[in-house]
Amino acid sequence: MQLDVIAVGRVRDSAMRSACDEYLTRTRRYLKVGEHEVPAARARRPADVRKLEGERLLAQIPVKARGVALTRKGKALDSAAFAERMSAWKRDARALSWPITDGNGISHFIAMAITSANCRS
C-alpha cells in the first residue's frame, strides 16, 4: 500500500522534525511512504487560510487514492482500532493520502470533499 502524507508547510522545529523522520522511518518498514508539502496560505481570516490550504491539499491527493482527513473533531481510535482500520485500507488496495494542516485545521468543506471522493471511487 502507498501512503502519502501531505502537509502544509515545513516542520521547522528540529525536535518535531526528528520525531517525524523517526515515525516515517518506522512506517516505511511496512508501507511505501511519500512525503509532500504544500505552501502555507497567507490570509487575514483563519477560514480563508483553511480554504486555501485545503484546496492545495486536495489538489495533491491522487484521483483514485483514499483521502483521510485526520482532525481533532474526528472519531478517536485506540491503537487496536487504528490497526484494524489500516488493515482494512490495505485490503482495499488503494493508495492512502493523509492531508495534514497546522493549527488552523481542515475546513468542513474540504473534509466533506474528501469524504465524497472516497464514496465515488
CATH code (residue 58): 3.40.1280.10
Q: 90 is in which domain, residue-wise?
A: 2-120
- In 3D space, the residue among 30, 51, 60 whose CA is nearest the CA of residue 109 turns out to be 51
Tell me the chain's radius of gyration from C-alpha atoms. 14
Check pLDDT > 70 for residue 117.
no
Which three-class secondary structure state does DSSP give residue 106?
A: coil
Check pLDDT > 50 for residue 121.
no
User: Is the model more confident about 3 or about 111?
Assistant: 3
Q: Which three cell numbers stand for residue 81?
A: 482500532
Query: How many structural domains comprise the chain?
Result: 1
pLDDT digits (tens, 9 = 90+) for 26-64: 999 989 999 999 998 888 888 888 888 888 988 998 888
Which three-class secondary structure state does DSSP give residue 13?
A: coil
Give the separation between CA 68 and CA 20, rounded to whole angstroms. 18
DSSP letter for each residue of 37-78:
EEPPP--SSHHHHHHHHHHHHHHHS-TTSEE----TTS----
Check pLDDT > 70 for residue 78.
yes
